[in-house]
Structure 1
């Protein structure tokens, strides 16, 4: 069984690999620079227009690199794609879904790095112009008109990717890291309802796929695991917005507790080394909500065999139904976590045997959240048990719903609208 995918061929290179050309052509002192990228940029200076340039190592961008690895799988020659669940076809009529090869996250990050002040505007906003170009090209195709876009697939890993055109691509299958960047838009659309009754008209577990962030820390194998002296570890920003405000309250509760390390820091080279040391030597790693319900930190913890303590009531997780997070994670309600002295007592109640079992299960799950195919240009056979194949399998699970939605839409009499979807889970 395979997922048959046609790649939208009319999108120019400037909307995917051309954006990487653009990124690598910036001066080393650009706001988009990072130490590791500036070193790589100098080595690419004479040949930065490679057919398939590498994705940035800048951690603020790299964490969203799913778009690069997913397209890389489709661009890999067929004879090298034996392990992929996706089968690329070149006739749209033979395809289950149509993949839109737009690096939406890289487009957004380039704009935010160059001129953040115009990001939410349309005039002078290169990202908006690219979004508009993509939508105009896609909506002009017979394939989009035939399905209303319901069988098209977009990768939107950055919470602000394709921010200006979300309503126009809402019928499609969206690959997102969570729904946090969409809540406020949907709540405005649901006038008359409380914030607890948001009508998710643009995103839903019924049609969309939650994908993992790209982890930033190296994988620690179970055979390399050593004694862990710290009970609970967290590194990140103390102050967050919206649902992430719980982080500041947790910080104040935990910062001076014995066996707990709370560090504020940025994911630069120094912060990376601190995170590796902290996660590799701690039993549990705290994962509170930030500006959105989840973050790259969860997948760094999994790769570090540090048991995630997830305190985020609205979190959605990748590949549920394929992987059971209860096998290696601890879920805590925000209301319980904020009770004085409760959280640390709860974590200390897990026996060494239970903690060891969590880590064994985590070690088995580590490959599932791995994007890297072993080729820096992204072109090459993907691991059969890796993240890209799990994404394709999740998209395949949506096919009955996609076909039903297309049929329902076609049988409606002229002038009658199909009711908006709700988050019926």
Structure 2
């Protein structure tokens, strides 16, 4: 080989290597040019923003009760505030009237607005709020505006001393700020702004007059949503399945229930009551109890009689106001307040001062005041609220032997705020929880927990004002609904199918205008055959009780909602349950009910009404006694010695 060949060979190899490197680089650039935009788009698309929830953080992030705004931290309340009452205005249904308002620095009410991006046209799936994302589950897509901050952001912790005085945070605040309840305005064609208590309303000029006499023209909020393929949670438990689960849980509990550390006389009395209830003689002739309304009228009657005869409740005196012993008697959280007020009244025959004689122990805290007092605005964490309740339980368990004897199984609470299920799920796992937000998917336990009716009380001095409605023959409207359309995923679906006067028989509106005495809303309730009770952010709604209040047959559209007093009432005898997926068939379902069947249901609504009424002085079978009975009934069937 000639001497120059090795050098020539090296040149050829170098050029080949450079050529291969250039070709590789060109291929990479070409691939990135084609694929990279799609990759970036998929990673940063606003419709695919991932959302995670840490179960230990107990957050219901960026969700207040039926509101997208978090309440501000309120300063501590003075000790003299012994009879705290929510003095906010009334009129309307749960969200239609702002029970709690958010104020600016000048004390003026302000209202947030909703971005048009929150309601999408031809969406393949409704938007899911963070509160609807279940723990340990794959989260549906959420809008960036709905995720304000990191879901696991740290929160201030509650550190009450042994005597449990009020936990003070942000003590330098100069004025209390309540939770946000302001409605949001949704864009619709041809808006003309109308002022209404700091809320911007939009009047639809195409609206037609209603056929209800004496009702002024309505304001309609109809989001521009035309089609939804599915709802966020396809796992639905029907009413019949709930009944089966209730029976199964009672059998399972009797077999697996942990026995108390020692047996007391009240335990033996409960065992005797259980035997008598299970072997109650047939008695369906009581004029005050209409048998078809109940699962078993004889069982209910005997249980109620034994409750009146023997039940004793010990109410803990510990705990400082305003979280403890502070009833709110007005607004959508009134149920927990009225129950607290009535059971702590001096003339309550069920209360005993001798804890050794008690069958039940009441934990007198207000879930609403817990949120108002301790929640730190924009913290998106409930950990300090949960810690406060844990410290309270730790305190009474050290001072008294009763909690530790049964691990809290003979203790109960009544809580109406949306956050109550998550706040009480762990530390009150064995206790009986009376919850307004009675959601199967939020840990409601059949046979132990009970559904607390959510009642909207406008005037605490006259809780029964405007009760009743027209007879069955004087109800020209087939069905009625009015509610803020931006509350949850369900209402936009309902309004997209039936709102904007799409069908003259169905009066499906957004928020009605405020009128003196709430005339529009009440008149529609009183003159409609069916009242649509569509869920908002949570499964519960005061419309269920309002419908009964005004002799209107409830149509409950809220999957996995456990209706009040489920242990004893046969809800399917006087109410209709429509699955969320069946909203497109709503009219067909209503029209399939015969006139005879409708009149029967409406008559039963009027008969069951006595169980859903608050009285300043409790009366037999009224709301107070029914709540107490549900707690008593569940405890009787849990007893094991």
Same fold (TM over 0.5): yes
| Residue 281 in structure 1 maps to residue 523 in structure 2 | no
Offset, 1:233: 0.9
Structure 1 residue 174 displacement after superposition: 0.6
- 1:113-163 Cα offsets, whole Å, 9 max, x none, are xx53236255xx6x5675354233233231111111111111121121385
Partner SS state of residue 479, structure 2 = strand
Q: Which residue of 1 aligns with 2:377?
A: 116
**Could you tell me how far apart the structure 2 residues matched to 1:334 and 1:121 are?**
29
1:144–1:334: structure 2 CA closer, same or farther, 3 Å change rule?
A: same
Distance 1:270 1:231 in 2: 25
Which residue in the other structure is 1:43 paired with? none
Structure 1's 352 and 215: CA in aligned 2 closer, same or farther, altered over 3 A?
farther
Partner of residue 102, structure 1:
365
Residue 410 of structure 2 is matched in structure 1 by 151
Select the residue among 322, 339, 354 that pairs with 2:597: 354
Indicate which of 208, 212, 219 corresponds to 2:449. Answer: 208
- Residues 400 and 21 (structure 1 numbering): CA distance in 2 closer, same or farther, change over 3 Å? closer
Query: 1:251-266 counterparts in 2 under 5 A?
Result: 251-255=495-499, 256-265=502-511
Structure number, greater radius of gyration: 2
Query: Do residues 316 (structure 1) and 586 (structure 2) align?
Result: no
Give the CA deviation at 1:347: 1.5
Structure 2 Cα separation of the partners of residues 106 and 19 of structure 1:
13
Question: Over aligned residue pairs, what C-alpha RMSD do you find?
Answer: 3.8
Contact 2:494–2:583 under 8 Å retained in 1: yes
1:160 aligned onto 2:419:
yes
Q: 1:238 aligns with which of 463, 485, 498?
A: 485
> Structure 2 vs 1, CA of residues 23 and 289 (structure 1 numbering), >3 Å: closer, same or farther?
closer
Q: Is the contact made by 1:16 and 1:102 (CA closer than 8 Å) also made in structure 2?
A: no
Distance in 2 (CA, whole Å) between partners of 1:336 and 1:164 is 32
Distance 2:476 2:521 in 1: 15
Correspondence for 1:373? 615
Contact map agreement 1:336 1:343 (CA 8 A) in 2: yes
Contact 1:222 1:363 in 2 (8 A): no
Map of 2:401 onto structure 1 = 142
Which string of whole-angstrom CA distances, capped at 9 and with x for unpartnered residues, describes residues 341-374 of structure 1? Answer: x32123123343332222211111112011x223
2:539 and 2:366 map into 1 onto residues whose CA distance is 23
Structure 2 residue runs without a partner (length 5+): 1-76, 89-100, 109-175, 182-196, 198-321, 459-464
Distance change (3 Å), C-alpha of 1:267 and 1:383: farther
Q: Which residues of 2 match residues 24-423 of structure 1 at below 5 A?
A: 31-32=177-178, 55-57=328-330, 62-78=331-347, 81=348, 87-110=350-373, 115-118=376-379, 120=381, 127=385, 130-140=388-398, 141-161=400-420, 163-164=422-423, 166-180=425-439, 183=441, 200=443, 203-216=444-457, 218-221=465-468, 227-241=474-488, 245-255=489-499, 256-265=502-511, 272-338=518-584, 342-370=585-613, 372-374=614-616, 381-404=617-640, 407=641
Structure 1 portions without partners, runs of 5+? 1-13, 39-48, 185-199, 375-380, 408-425
Q: 1:403 to 1:266 in 2, by over 3 A?
A: farther
Instruction: Give the TM-score normalised by the residue count of structure 1.
Output: 0.67
SS for the counterpart of 2:555 is strand
Q: How many residues align?
A: 333
TM-score (norm 2): 0.46
Q: Distance in 2 between matches of 1:18 and 1:92?
A: 27
Q: CA deviation at 1:396?
A: 1.6
State the alpha-carbon separation in 2 of the partners of residues 221 and 271 from structure 1.
Answer: 15
